Amino acid sequence: MGSDIMTKTYSIRLDENTRNDAQKIFNDLGMDFSTGIKIYLKQVIKLNGIPFELSNESGLERSLQELKNGDYKSFKSVDKLFEDLNSKDD
């Protein structure tokens, strides 16, 4: 006799749009919702983490990092700064 793997059923709360959008993608890939979630969880285990980058970096943190990296402009006068700011199309 082979070893039986016990499975359990879990419930998760999702808004309808998230569920429907994910279901459509899973269907396009030839799988049902449950299989898509199982694949995601297998990747979490394999990678020992979330299989994509998570970030909540604020604009301030990003600016400080740019400053550290020397990724900024400097100006000899306020007039030159405003010239540069006003020359931008956006």
DSSP three-state, residue 12: coil
Residue 17 domain boundaries:
10-90
Query: Does residue 44 lie within any of the structural domains?
Result: yes
Q: For residue 35, what pLDDT is reported? A: 96
Query: Does residue 4 lie within any of the structural domains?
Result: no
Torsion of CA 79, 80, 86, 88, to 10 degrees: -170
Which amino acid is located at 58 in the chain?
A: S
Q: For residue 71, what pLDDT is reported? A: 86
Q: For residue 3, what pLDDT is reported? A: 59
Query: How many structural domains are present in the chain?
Result: 1
Query: Does residue 62 lie within any of the structural domains?
Result: yes
As a 3-state breakdown, the chain gives helix, strand, coil percent values, each rounded to 5, of 55, 0, 45
pTM for the complete prediction?
0.55
pLDDT in tens, the chain (90 residues): 555 788 899 999 999 999 999 999 999 999 999 999 999 999 999 999 999 877 777 778 888 888 899 888 888 988 888 888 888 654
Q: How many other β-carbons are positioned within 10 Å of the β-carbon of residue 38?
A: 13
